[in-house]
A = this chain, B = another copy of it.
Amino acid sequence: MENNSAQQPTHRILFEPSGRLCDAKGSETVLDAARRYGVFLQSDCGGEGSCGKCIVSANPPNCLSPPSGEERSLLSPEQLSRGDRLACQAQIEGPGIICIPGLDKVDVSAKMTISGTFPADPAIKRIFIPELELQPAYEDLTAAVRRTSRMLAGTDIRFEDLTAIRELSNAVKNGGPMTLVCHRERGVTSVLTGERNRSLGIAVDVGTTTLALYLCDLRTGALLCSAGAGNPQRLFGEDVISRISYADNNEQGTGVLHKLVVDKINELAGNLLTETGFRRDDVDEMAVVGNTTMETLFASLHPHSLGVFPYLPPLRFPGDFSARDLGIGLNPGTNVHIFPVISGFLGGDTIGAILAEQPHRKNEVLLIFDIGTNGEIVLGNRDALWATSCATGPALEGAHISCGMRAAEGAIHRVDIDPGTLRPFYQVLGDTGKSRPQGICGSGIIDAIAAMRRTGLIMPNGRLVEGMPGVIPNESGIGRRFVLVPAESSASGREIAVTMQDVRQIQLAKAALFAGVKILMRKSGINRVDRVVLTGAFGARFDWANAVSIGMFPEFGADIKVAANAAGMGAILGLLDRKIRHEAVEIARMVRFIELAEEPDFQTEYILGMDFPQLPT
């Protein structure tokens, strides 16, 4: 507490939609912090408070100073009342999320490309009761409904949920027909007034970095609409370990993380319903997949035990809980099904991917890579399934990369380098010919490194070759970088480059995956792979040939399939078909988990995996 920095507290700020995490200095303006971290913000007047273009919004609103006179004069009362602020005026006074509108739809297209109609055998049945006949007997309303529904629908129902019984008592007060939402295992979960035939469900994929929601018709199996956003828990760290630390070090931390993700899911669910014109009480069930930490926090359980040996989850799930107990804004009794997990490191998302790709039903041997903030690898077929989890770190999603950003609008997502001139070419997400690049996302950095390797800009050990065109020494004198976009061509006015540190981050990530595959094959005794499935954050945009060329995984000579979001697909399948949920429990029992840290040869493989493969001669 003796130096000056102690007098200037810093506040953790998450910029949306780029996902950039910043430590803002006390009373720094939003615009200054954005510039310092290379986050693009339009500002025609250069921060004078006169153009009114640098509009942002903040959550919580009090993470920013109260509106200034300039803001009051430049923003309309409507804008002020909905929380619009000017980034050049608003000072950061606490931790929070700053949203830059216009850009506020996180690009989660990788997870959004699922469509179609799937087999439906839902856990929900809606029963219409045109009129409830009451008998003056030793009966109560629930018994009268049971008798009527047996007569009308031949279905035996149960009432166990208190809010459903409450809704029944209200429906009888209001008179007229009613519709029962019956869950096969939990009994009646809701009683609706009137004839209500529509029966929808929402599948949720809670990723460490992104959330994806899929609105489905439980009767037809049709996927109606999907929505995605960044996981706002990133405010407290990019990876699961930092979220666990946050919960460990803050009294109400678990509750805060739970509320962040649940509020965002409620918001996205609301958007899906608005978009399709359905009602909140048309939704009869929700099914949720995520890695173990994400599912644990979604259930508002403390994740502490996941962060310390032996890394046990509080609950391996599956869990069927009521929406009210989880804070989900559907009918209070609505069932929320949380997928089973395999272990602390292999969650319901991995089970979802297995359900989507079905290695457990096939003779051919599958190798599934689910690459997100963590990398999960599944190997096997109907005889046996082996799996492991690799700490790839968030580099493959654009975090911990000097100019990295999430796969959002403005991100460089494809890169190539002219082997003759060594001039880089790139594609920008959402580019309509006008927008300038703001940073580089995961698939872009892999492309860039593969191209740099191909063109000899990088040596096998990862060092940038001095003196090559575009390779310049850092101003500090330590290290070098390869410039992709000069300062004058970028959106933020800051150069976009790949540094030696960036290359090292990717080397660490790809070495973990490479070593994971080697260990998994050795332990399982499986030495043949018929098909490789790539899924996760990169999704369909991912150039797997570049990934192979930098040694992210071995060249098997097998078919390679890219699955948009296998985990989300598994959630959809489980939402629509209750038999799939039993299958999920079987898979959770069947999969043999390999803990890489306990394997004596993991370190060796990991170090061997760091180098880039030799170039084909």
Contacts and interface: CB of A to CB of B under 8 A. Distances in A.
A12 interface: no
Contacts of A342: 138
Given A142-B315, A305-B141, A310 B136 contact: yes
A162 B301 CA distance: 9
A219 B98 CA distance: 56
Nearest to A172: B305
Interface stretch (A59-67, A163-171, A351-359, A377-385): A163-171
Q: How many copies does the complex hold?
A: 2
Given A141-B305, A305-B172, A310-B136, A166 B343 contact: no
A321 interface: yes
B139 A314 contact: no
Interface string A158-183: 01001101101110110000000000
B138 A343 contact: yes
Interface in A286-317: 296, 299-305, 309-316
B325 A173 contact: no
Interface in A252-311: 254, 296, 299-305, 309-311
A140 B173 contact: no
A120 interface: no
A302 B166 contact: yes
Contact of A144 (B135, B248, B312): B312
A45 interface: no
Contacts of A137: 310
A313 B168 CA distance: 11
A134 interface: yes
Contacts of A134: 305, 310, 312
B314 A169 contact: yes
A421 to B, nearest CB: 55
Contacts of A166: 299-302
Contacts of A302: 166, 169-170, 172-173
A313 B144 CA distance: 11
A108 to B, nearest CB: 29
Q: How large is the interface on A (under 10, 10 to 19, 20 to 34, 35 or more residues)?
A: 35 or more
A133 to B, nearest CB: 10
A231 to B, nearest CB: 20
A113 to B, nearest CB: 34
A130 B143 CA distance: 46
A139 B344 CA distance: 9
A319 B160 CA distance: 9
A335 to B, nearest CB: 13
Nearest to A314: B169
Contact of A325 (B162, B311, B589): B162
Contact of A173 (B139, B162, B248): B248
Given A312-B141, A314-B142, A304 B172 contact: yes
A548 B168 CA distance: 45
Contacts of A165: 299, 301, 314-315
Contacts of A316: 138-140, 143
A144 to B, nearest CB: 7
Nearest to A589: B138
A314 B325 CA distance: 23
A273 to B, nearest CB: 25
Nearest to A136: B310
A169 B308 CA distance: 13
A169 B135 contact: no
A574 to B, nearest CB: 20
Contacts of A141: 305, 312-315
Given A142-B314, A299-B162, A309 B169 contact: no
A570 B194 CA distance: 41
Given A169-B302, A248-B173, A304-B173, A140 B314 contact: yes
A158 to B, nearest CB: 12
B172 A314 contact: yes
B172 A140 contact: no
Given A302-B173, A325-B162, A168 B312 contact: no
A168 B309 CA distance: 17
A140 B304 contact: no
Contacts of A248: 173
A254 B162 CA distance: 14
Given A134-B312, A166-B299, A169-B314, 7 more contacts: A136-B310, A138-B593, A140-B313, A162-B326, A163-B325, A165-B299, A169-B303
11 contacts: A136-B309, A136-B311, A141-B314, A141-B315, A143-B316, A165-B315, A169-B296, A169-B302, A169-B304, A169-B305, A172-B302
Shortest beta-carbon contacts, A-B, top 6: A136-B310, A173-B304, A169-B302, A169-B314, A140-B316, A169-B301
